[in-house]
Amino acid sequence: MSWSVSACGPASKVAEQLEQQFEKVNMNDKGEQETVQHARKLVAQTLATIEPEKIMRVSASGSMGFKDWQNKTGSYQSVDLKIEPIHFS
């Protein structure tokens, strides 16, 4: 159970690309669905505060696991989110 999205380019285009990718993320677990939605909103809100033509690189991913995979107990999540500007010299 894992998901990932990523894009690089002008902030406005990256926001559009990521929104399309987030639309395709389909998690079965309710907790993981909520995590994806929080990441989606955070990425959109952050990119909305940046100049539309600023070149950005964004990656977001997550996974869910269980301490006891066979019995699906002891669940945990791992989430990684990176939003960074690309600077040209």
By three-state DSSP, how is residue 64 classified? strand
Angle CA(10)–CA(16)–CA(81) in degrees, nearest 5? 80
| 8-state DSSP, 29 | S
Provide, rounded to the nearest whole percent, the portion of the chain with pLDDT above 90: 79
| 8-state DSSP, 87 | P
Residues 8, 56: contact at Cβ < 8 Å? Answer: yes
Model pLDDT, residue 29: 85
Total domain count, the chain:
1
Mean pLDDT, 10 residues at a time, the chain of 89 residues: 95 96 90 94 96 96 91 92 91
Model pLDDT, residue 82: 98
Expressed as residue numbers, the domain containing 15 is 2-85
Model pLDDT, residue 1: 79
Q: What are phi and psi of 40, to 5 degrees?
A: -60, -45
Model pLDDT, residue 88: 80
